[in-house]
Structures are given as structure tokens and as C-alpha cells.
Chain A
Amino acid sequence: DIQMTQSPASLSASLGETVTIECRASEDIYNGLAWYQQKPGKSPQLLIYNANSLHTGVPSRFSGSGSGTQYSLKINSLQSEDVASYFCQQYYNYPPLTFGSGTKLEIK
């Protein structure tokens, strides 16, 4: 099984700042990576797929990058509505589909 290691576990940033969340796979996943946002009390929502493609309707301040085993999600100009937990998911090799442990983003 491919293990996904996500960091940091929590993050506090100011409005307008840029934040970066990292995800490392236990082997090369060839850009088979998605990012999800889960707001408090809500279900997850797809943000990014194929490591760097923005899902329909997702604001352009979100972006994904990376290759091989290392991937990142960047949020530019942090907004209050970005308070959420963020999860990565690999889908290069499955089953099983595997998720990172999540990053909880708060506003300072």
C-alpha cells in the first residue's frame, strides 16, 4: 500500500498570507494526487486533481504542484473562508486509495 505523509498537522496564518501544505508519498505516484478541503461540520470537497489541475469552481488562489513522491498545496491571499482541514489522496496505485492524515488550517 502507498502511504501518504502530510505536514504540518496544523497551521495558523494571517489573512492575506500564503500557506503551503506538503504531502509525501512512500513511492512515486506519477501525479496521481488529489487535494480536498473539508470545512468544519461539512463533507470534503475536491480542490485539485492530477497534482496541479484545479477542479471546477475552485478559486484560483488554490494551486497544486509537485512530482514523484513530493507534492504541495498552496493557498495565496488567505481568506477567512479557507479555514478548514485539507487532505491529500493518492490514486496512482489502488486499491487501496489512501489519504494523508490532514492539515487543520486556522486564522491567526
Chain B
Amino acid sequence: EVQLVESGGGLVQPGRSLKLSCAASGFTFSDYAMAWVRQAPKKGLEWVATIIYDGSSTYYRDSVKGRFTISRDNAKSTLYLQMDSLRSEDTATYYCARDLPLFAYWGQGTLVTVSS
């Protein structure tokens, strides 16, 4: 059974950093592209970033370019999102999701709140 378990969310002040993790199991992690998708409270879904199976290519939405870094450790079957220079508008539940370009599997999400 495919499982994606996010962690690392919490309350952080504007301008600070946070690193999210997503532990994958139930499939060969190194075979799949992975992504982060976020959802602000009571709002819609917003794609954040994607990394291909071997980590050699990454893609970001414009609003996070230069601030967020997606990475993966295939030996640990873990996906990461390093978030720097956080803003209030980054407040959201962050989901990791498998596959590209559509998302067949999702984690349960981790809430990031950016507030002073």
C-alpha cells in the first residue's frame, strides 16, 4: 500500500525557515516524480514544486522560486521541502504527492502557519 507521511509543519515567524519531510513507503520511491501541493485555509489547491525521479530536475511555481527548495533522498525514500524567507501567504497545509503530471497518491498533509 502506498503511504506518504508528511512532517515538519508548525508555527513560524515571517522571514524564518522551515523544512518539511515526506516519508514514502509501499512503492519504489526512486522510480517516481514527487511534488508538493499546498492548500491555504478554506482555499483551493496550489502546486508548489516537483522533482523528477532522480532529483536531476526541479520545477517551482513563480511565487516560491528562490525561496523554496525541493529535494529527495532516494536511499531514505524521503522527499523534502526547504522553505526560507517565509511569508504570511505561505500559510497552508502542505501535501506531498506522487506522480507527474497528475497526482494519484497524496499524504495527509502538514500545516504551516506563518505569523508573528
Chain A residues engaging chain B, CB cutoff 8 angstroms: 32, 34, 36, 42-46, 49, 55, 87, 89, 91, 94-102
User: Please, which residue of chain B has its CB at the minimum distance from the CB of A89?
Assistant: B102
Query: How far is it, in angstroms, between the C-alpha of A55 and the C-alpha of B104 when the chains are bound?
Result: 8
Taking chain A's interface residues, is the majority helix, strand, or loop, or is none over half, making it mixed?
A: loop
Q: Which one of B47, B59, B95, B108 contacts A98 once the chains associate, using CB atoms below 8 Å?
A: B47
Chain B residues engaging chain A, CB cutoff 8 angstroms: 35, 44-47, 50, 59-62, 95, 101-104, 106-109
User: Please, which residue of chain B has its CB at the minimum distance from the CB of A50?
Assistant: B102
7 contacts between A and B (CB under 8 A): A32-B101, A43-B108, A89-B45, A91-B101, A95-B47, A97-B101, A99-B47
B61 and A96 form a contact (CB under 8 A): yes
User: Please, which residue of chain A has its CB at the minimum distance from the CB of B103?
Assistant: A46
**A-side contacts of B44, CB under 8 Å:** 87, 99-102
A43 and B109 form a contact (CB under 8 A): yes
Q: Which of B47, B60, B101, B102 has the most CB of A within 10 A?
A: B102
Q: Which of A43, A87, A95 has the most CB of B within 10 A?
A: A43
Q: Which of B35, B45, B60, B103 has the most CB of A within 10 A?
A: B45
